A = this chain, B = another copy of it.
């Protein structure tokens, strides 16, 4: 368990583990062991040396704290880590120490280690987003006919369905997730460039070693080292930004629905959301954690992007800021994904509050509808003015729109009583809500056409 108190709301446990000292050490050691193996296979270093290095590459033998403490002296954890690895190797084979890290530079080590950590993070992110997908799809399907207010600029607007609302969330999640997958796929590439990006220390075998190393670590192999070209990581960080933005939007919506005065939704899980002092409280904590992530990630994206301006063959400054930024982005994205998955899975919807909130608007949200109905005979301008007057009366006299309209001479005779009667029926003013919902579900689950027949 490696979550720190000061950042206890900033990461999930599994992602804290991914970036824990032990895990970072493992990734660094995996790079060095694989490099040695590959170089031995290609007869660049002795087989024995590779074996000794691999045997030395046991995280438990390393003092992460000491390495961390030394890192500032060289502006990279790579140098003290390698010193420690050489020491560990020496215990097994003094002759092998000369072949540790053969031909590589510390950025090869650090970048590949970071990529390996990202590779470990990806399935964690994916599995929460998959939970979220399923939960949103289920919510959308269950509430295909659940009518509710839409709200624009936080004000009541004509009705929609919760099915469409959830489908809209789902669509955004799936689109954002597609970007994220693509970014992982293109970004998980090994780094091996040596001191200046030419792997010159490996003579004419640099490319071969790089390809074999990437294969060994199950990473992609790029056209060339990318020491100072950080666009692939930037795309990944941006994709996280978009995912978190989407999750934040859902969290904002749900948290607004959970307000006591609205009461249309509640986070479900029983043991969460309590207060230190208020026994009655049931806070939307999953939304809070997601919005916390959404409040931090965009700026981290910004840092990464402005840090792309790196000097020549190895940057000075923003390169050295990357580990911290990327770790922060991934952990926050994971926290948001896990929290919203929990929220969506446990979400309670109160159909009757949705209905009564609609009703409480006294029909004024159908003013647009009335304008559309009156425009052909009254003219749009006059229809608009008539409805502005009518809705004003509704507010002042606390009466329903249809009742007010029924008394207005401009309306009488122009709208049939039956039409007036149905004016405020939300089910009859949903337009393409159902079609949009179907299209969103279908696009989100191409295989099953969005109709849920696919087994999960």
Contacts and interface: CB of A to CB of B under 8 A. Distances in A.
Interface string A175-216: 110010000000000000011111111111011001000000
A179 B291 contact: no
Nearest to A366: B280
Contacts of A337: none
Contacts of A76: 9, 276
B317 A235 contact: no
A284 B238 contact: no
| A interface secondary structure, majority | helix
Contacts of A9: 71-72, 75-77, 320-321, 323-324
Contacts of A319: 288, 292
A261 interface: yes
A357 interface: yes
B231 A175 contact: yes
Contacts of A429: 198, 200
Interface residues of A, number: 201
Copies of this chain held together in the complex: 4
B368 A199 contact: no
A168 B364 CA distance: 35
Given A24-B5, A106-B276, A200 B431 contact: yes
Interface string A223-245: 11101111110110011011011
A195 B369 CA distance: 10
Contact of A296 (B13, B314, B321, B360): B321
A67 interface: yes
A149 B261 CA distance: 11
A297 B330 CA distance: 18
B167 A77 contact: no
A154 B311 contact: yes
A318 interface: yes
Interface in A400-456: 429-433, 435-437, 439-440, 442-443
A431 B203 contact: yes
Contacts of A302: 298-299, 301-302
A335 B21 CA distance: 20
Nearest to A257: B312
B320 A291 contact: yes
B69 A13 contact: yes
Contact of A283 (B74, B246, B252): B74
A235 to B, nearest CB: 6
Given A72-B289, A301-B305, A379-B98, A249 B278 contact: no
Contact of A276 (B101, B153, B281): B101
